[in-house]
Copies of this chain bind each other. A is one copy, B any other.
Amino acid sequence: MDYRVRSLAGAASGASKIDWAGTEMPVLKGIAERFAHEQPLAGVRISACLHVTAETANLMLTLAAGGAQIRLCASNPLSTQDDVAAALVAEHGIPVFAAHGETTLEYYADIDAALAHHPHITLDDGADLIAVLHTKRSDLLADVVGGLEETTTGVVRLRAMARDGMLRYPVIAVNDAMSQHLFDNRYGTGQSTLDGIMRATNILLAGKVFTIAGYGWCGRGIAMRARGMGARVLVTEVDPLRALEAVMDGFEVLPMDHAAPLSDIIVTATGQRDVVTSEHFAIAKNGCILANAGHFNLEISLPALEALASGKSRPRPNLEEYVLRDGRRLRLLAQGRLVNLAAAEGHPAAVMDMSFANQALCVEFLGAKGPKLEARVHEVPIEIDQQVARLKLAAMAVGIDVLTADQVAYATSWISGT
């Protein structure tokens, strides 16, 4: 079997992590059981470019249970759990191409390897595999019936491609599913970003001035949790509707150059580049902590920070302290990479349970309907979204009401008055 992992030695440890994560993923587990029985993916070849974690491993096992042939590479060099990669290879016979801390060269080589079996379906987290498929490996496009993309950042890229007529197969924006928004971005990233900051710094959040750049789903989640931990939360935005929502939610909204001198902590979650840059470093409060919760490590301008600094140390893991020429110290977490993945453990398993249940059902949908879909970005079918929510509520033993026949009739009728 073809694969590239750091070592197979950690397979037992990885298998135990996969099992543990599995106990927190009851929705995906239920789907795996149905897939094993129905084999909806028999003969389907899948290339997946995702964070190689214990939760992702459970998605791979679910798809494999449904009959799929999978090759997996990493969507981020720093998020790979080497023992999990080893376990997938050694215990489950799934080819993985990923190693923690790999170089950019290795990263792209691994994407190539993941594509080698001529996929029918692609799974992406940041659209890197799709990008390779549309440029260097466009020879493989003929076999592809569809793909999934799970980040906002990736979806923006794909929409741009579709607008330019460059997207060659249908892609479902799994990230736009309601069940995904709720769990992955709002609640998942909200909690894990705070978790990452606490692990990296062990600072008390209560009473701190905590600025969040971006009030999208992730930003809202972080803002809600930062306030929940007792911080005074400021928000910066470029979109007037989001800015207004933040104001109405009771947050102080202001431009970054007003926020920087007030902030004890600044977290970026915009999907943009250069959100905190030299003009802000120049006026930031002494001791300010800088972290990024957006997909790429471009949101905090690292080159500008390096250029301004006269010294640098690492007093704690995942925390680098830059000393500026005027003596102020700025503290960068996780080198500006996703702080929840690098300094904490990424999304909790329960979050990924929802996301990956969603993805498993979307893969099944693409297997059946992909060939008939237009080559553009598609939303997750509402039925899949509701099915995931329904399975989750059942797993939590939460009961809800059911419309009566009269109520159904009322909801669909238009002849009734005051």
Contact residues of A with B, CB < 8 Å? 16, 19-20, 23-24, 75-77, 104, 107, 126-128, 131, 156-158, 160-161, 164, 166, 178-179, 182-183, 186-188, 190-191, 194-195, 198-199, 202-207, 224-225, 227-233, 236-241, 243-245, 247-256, 258, 271-274, 287, 296, 315-316, 344-345, 347-351, 385-386, 389-390, 392-393, 396, 398-404, 406-407, 410-418
Q: Are B250 and A231 in contact (CB under 8 A)?
A: yes
Q: Are A412 and B160 in contact (CB under 8 A)?
A: yes
Q: A158-B414, A230-B250 are in contact. Are A404 and B128 (CB under 8 A)?
A: no
Q: Are A247 and B393 in contact (CB under 8 A)?
A: yes
Q: Are A198 and B203 in contact (CB under 8 A)?
A: no
Q: Are A389 and B238 in contact (CB under 8 A)?
A: no
Q: Are B349 and A77 in contact (CB under 8 A)?
A: no
A277 to chain B, nearest CB (A): 9
Q: What's the Cα separation between A256 and B241 when bound, in Å?
A: 31
Q: Are A274 and B407 in contact (CB under 8 A)?
A: yes
Q: What's the Cα separation between A106 and B1 when bound, in Å?
A: 54
Known: A204-B349, A296-B418. 16 other contacts (CB 8 A): A16-B315, A23-B287, A157-B414, A183-B248, A191-B204, A191-B205, A202-B344, A203-B348, A227-B250, A228-B228, A230-B248, A232-B251, A233-B250, A255-B400, A256-B401, A296-B416
Q: What's the Cα separation between A42 and B112 when bound, in Å?
A: 64
Q: Of the candidates B191, B400, B416, which one forms a contact with A238 in the assembled complex, judged by CB atoms under 8 Å apart? A: B400
Q: A230-B228, A240-B386 are in contact. Are A414 and B131 (CB under 8 A)?
A: yes
Task: Name the B residues within 8 Å of A179 (CB-CB).
Answer: 241, 244
Q: Are B232 and A252 in contact (CB under 8 A)?
A: yes
Q: What's the Cα separation between A399 and B238 when bound, in Å?
A: 10
Closest 4 CB pairs of A and B: A228-B228, A240-B389, A204-B348, A157-B414
Task: Name the B residues within 8 Å of A418 (CB-CB).
Answer: 75-77, 104, 107, 126, 128, 296
Q: What's the Cα separation between A267 and B158 when bound, in Å?
A: 43
Q: Of the candidates B160, B203, B233, B396, which one forms a contact with A413 in the assembled complex, judged by CB atoms under 8 Å apart? A: B160
A30 to chain B, nearest CB (A): 15
Q: What's the Cα separation between A164 and B416 when bound, in Å?
A: 15
Q: What's the Cα separation between A76 and B216 when bound, in Å?
A: 37
| 25 A–B contacts from the bound complex (CB under 8 Å) | A77-B418, A161-B414, A164-B414, A182-B244, A182-B245, A186-B248, A199-B199, A203-B350, A206-B249, A207-B396, A225-B230, A229-B229, A230-B248, A230-B250, A238-B402, A238-B403, A240-B390, A241-B385, A241-B389, A243-B398, A253-B398, A255-B401, A274-B404, A274-B406, A274-B407
Q: A254-B399, A345-B202 are in contact. Are A392 and B230 (CB under 8 A)?
A: no
**Most chain B CB neighbours (cut-off 10 Å) among A24, A158, A389, A390:** A389
Q: Are B389 and A243 in contact (CB under 8 A)?
A: yes
Task: Name the B residues within 8 Å of A347 (CB-CB).
Answer: 204
Task: Name the B residues within 8 Å of A396 (CB-CB).
Answer: 207, 247
Q: What's the Cα separation between A188 and B206 when bound, in Å?
A: 9
Task: Name the B residues within 8 Å of A296 (CB-CB).
Answer: 416, 418
Q: Are B255 and A399 in contact (CB under 8 A)?
A: yes
Q: What's the Cα separation between A251 and B186 when bound, in Å?
A: 16
Q: Are A386 and B241 in contact (CB under 8 A)?
A: yes
A245 to chain B, nearest CB (A): 6
